[in-house]
Amino acid sequence: MIAIVLFGKPGAGKGTQAEFLKEKYNLTHISTGDVFRYNLKNGTDLGNEAKVFIDKGELVPDSITINMLAEEVAKNMDKAGFLFDGFPRTIKQAEALEELLKEKGISFAGTIGLDANDEILVARILERGKTSGRADDQNEAKIRNRYKEYNEKTAPLIAFYENKKMYSSVDGIGTIEEVTERLSKVIDTLV
């Protein structure tokens, strides 16, 4: 059983690509956003814990997020592995994920980054915002702020994983099929 992290800025295509890759490689796609929405909507204990922080406008502590992910992993041990999307976002989270995988006996295969130009991504997200219903997809200033946050907090993970020789970069611009093919070439070397 393996785990792969799909990495990239908002709008890079992580969720779209994960839908194709999970079928091709028999992986469970774990999107942190989906996991949070599920737990909040269903009023789970972890969802209620997270809501306290969200309602105050604070970041949810890593421990709650890891516990949510651990529950998702435990529910899906029948697949060939996991494709994480949206997590980790910090080095502390990366270390916690590695510990979780080790506890579950899951091999961490590596991280694949979808690279794309910010201007192309901003246009993508604004287009997505026309149908997504997400307010943060409809405001260019908020989108650019998400990139600023990404560059400050998440981009350091690239060096973290490169130092472990666990990072591959893939061009995220092109048709969905072209990007899927590029990602598949990398995944084929990891599985």
Considering only CA atoms, which of 108, 107, 124 is closest in space to residue 174? 124
To the question of whether residue 32 is assigned a binding role by annotation, the answer is yes
Residue 80 in marked binding region? no
Say if residue 81 carries a ligand binding annotation.
no
* C-alpha distances in Å from residue 189, one per residue of 6, 49, 167, 182, 184: 15, 39, 12, 12, 9
Tell me: is residue 124 an annotated ligand-binding position.
Answer: no
Name the 3-class secondary structure at 101: helix
Q: Please answer whether residues 112 and 34 qualify as being in contact, where contact means their C-beta atoms are separated by less than 8 angstroms.
A: no
Q: Is 144 a catalytic residue?
A: no
**Catalytic, out of 51, 79, 104, 128:** 128
What b-and-e string marks burial along 131-143, b requiring 16 or more CB atoms within 10 Å of the CB?
Answer: eeeeeebeeeeeb
- Determine if residue 108 is labeled as part of a ligand binding site: no
Q: Is 89 a catalytic residue?
A: yes
Determine phi and psi for 133, rounding to 5 degrees.
Answer: 80, 0
Q: Is 126 annotated as a binding residue?
A: no
Contact 167, 111 (CB under 8 A): yes
Query: Does 146 participate in catalysis according to the annotation?
Result: yes
Marked catalytic residue, from 9, 14, 22, 124: 14
10 is in an annotated binding site: no
Catalytic hit among 9, 22, 89, 182: 89
Is 128 tagged catalytic? Answer: yes
Task: Tell whether 174 is in a known binding site.
Answer: yes
Q: Is 57 annotated as a binding residue?
A: no
**Residue of 9, 22, 124, 146 marked catalytic:** 146
Catalytic site residue from 134, 144, 148, 153: 134
Query: What three-state secondary structure class fits 7?
Result: strand
Give the catalytic positions in this structure: 14, 89, 128, 134, 146
Binding site as annotated, residues: 11-16, 32, 37, 58-60, 86-89, 93, 128, 134, 146, 174
Binding site as annotated, residues for ATP: 11-16, 128, 174
Binding site as annotated, residues for AMP: 32, 37, 58-60, 86-89, 93, 134, 146
